[in-house]
Homo-oligomer: A and B are copies of this chain.
Amino acid sequence: MKAEILSIGTELLLGQITDTNAAWLAQQLPDFGIDLYYISQVGDNRQRLTETLRRAHDRSDLVICTGGLGPTEDDLTREAISDLLGEPMEVQPDLEKTLRAYFGGRGMEMPERNVKQATLIKSSQAMDNPVGTAPGWWVEHDGRFITCMPGVPHEMKTMWQNQVVPRLRERVTGSFIMSRTLKILGKGESAVEEMVQDYIRSTNPTLATYAKNDGIHLRITSKAPDEATARDLVFELEIKLRERLGTLIYGEDDETLEGVIGGMLQDRSYFLSVMEAGTGGALASMLNDAPQSQLFFRGGLVSQQPEVLAGWGVNGALLEANSILSTQVAEAMATAARLTLGTDVGLAICAAPRKDTFPDKPAGQIIMAADLLGTVRSAELNYRSNPSEIKRLGSVFGLNLLRRMLLK
């Protein structure tokens, strides 16, 4: 099956927004065995939109549209499909009632122009939008499919999961698709691929690797006539991968590294504090993003000035004898963070995101250290990347150093 994505809206052509919907949708399609050959962005112009839609409908089995479902004169996705198939748009009383109830529930009267959001054509079904006003359209015509979702990313994703995925399963692929992602830190992509290369060739379930900014993702995807079989296929491979990769795997699916670390710390009733020199609070900010972070994260101390670090308990003689960006200072910072904030664990990152961070050190150098109840470990990395990525990598690898210590 061949698919094509159409992102609709003049704001895309003015560069006012970046089309993140297309990339997100593109990631979903391989799970259904659907090939994507084209993505296009087109503005709110009825003739150009209809022309682009016609070409897509002619050459692809499934056209996935986002945007242009609002109530204004510029929202023309419904009109273009109506033009394409020669089927008039008709107001549906039940949809109109739901739409008026949506506005009523917010104490507002529905503007009359919104009534076009309650229309369908003969070949279309409405797809419910629980988080917005515009229902989507699912169109079947001559054995081909067009699906239209709102352009707002969270509305689009909700509708995709609740409305499009079941229809794809039922009408398009005829099978259940299950997938699971295992997240890995501690090896690079090619090393991970080598470790699992006998499974990479497997066709059901399939196994694919992705390099992401929180490590390597291993994605298992199975296809079967029923849900139980699909789940078993995933589960069997997952067990084998977990045996082989062990603690290189830190999490799965929606789990985040900071959330996993938070869980490990809470299991042990440990509190964590951090000290950062050069990363400016990026590690603390990442920990702050974990759910219920106040239950394990006590606080962060951020500075790259020796006298400030000394005030937080880092040995002054050590600071005089060494660059801040050194294993000695990083280890002393981890211990100082633990002692000065009175926690079980202290984690420190020293890094040079830019050339001017520590003029005596190269940009991209990262040193991390952890103190767990008095046991100290450290590690060093060098990365060539932009400043924000180096700040992020320092935080990620620092948390992974702590994870490895907690596992022991």
Interface residues of A (CB under 8 A from B): 12-20, 22-30, 36-43, 45, 48, 52, 210, 276, 278-289, 291-294, 298-305, 308, 311, 341, 353, 356-357, 387-388, 391
Contact = CB atoms under 8 A, between A and B. Distances in A.
Contact of A302 (B27, B28, B300, B353): B300
Contacts of A22: 15, 18-19, 41
B298 A287 contact: no
B42 A38 contact: yes
A355 B284 CA distance: 19
B13 A17 contact: no
A25 B14 CA distance: 9
Contact of A23 (B15, B278, B294): B15
A15 B24 contact: yes
Contacts of A283: 281
A224 B42 CA distance: 31
A291 B302 CA distance: 17
A284 B299 contact: no
| Oligomer: number of copies | 2
Contacts of A24: 15
Nearest to A391: B285
Contacts of A288: 278-282, 302, 353, 391
Nearest to A39: B41
B43 A37 contact: yes
A282 B279 contact: no
Nearest to A42: B38
Contacts of A298: 303, 305, 308
Contacts of A18: 18-20, 22-23
Count chain B CB atoms within 10 A of each CB in A12, A28, A302, A305 and give the residue with the most. A302
A303 B308 contact: no
A291 B24 CA distance: 34
Given A279-B288, A280-B286, A281-B283, 4 more contacts: A17-B23, A284-B284, A300-B303, A301-B301
B302 A281 contact: yes
A300 B285 contact: no
Contact of A291 (B281, B300, B356, B388): B356
Contacts of A285: 279-282, 285, 391
A49 to B, nearest CB: 11
A39 B12 CA distance: 9
A106 to B, nearest CB: 13
Nearest to A286: B280
Contacts of A38: 13, 40-42, 48, 52
Contact of A341 (B299, B308, B356): B308
Nearest to A17: B23
A52 to B, nearest CB: 7
Given A285-B279, A298-B308, A302-B300, A292 B40 contact: no
26 contacts: A12-B23, A13-B36, A13-B38, A15-B22, A15-B24, A15-B27, A18-B19, A38-B40, A38-B42, A40-B40, A276-B281, A280-B286, A280-B293, A281-B285, A282-B285, A285-B285, A289-B388, A298-B303, A298-B308, A299-B301, A299-B303, A300-B301, A300-B302, A300-B303, A303-B341, A311-B341
A280 B300 contact: yes
Contacts of A281: 276, 280-285, 288, 300, 302
Nearest to A387: B289
Contacts of A42: 37-39
Given A299-B308, A308-B341, A26 B40 contact: no
A189 to B, nearest CB: 12
Contacts of A13: 26, 36-39
A19 B19 contact: yes
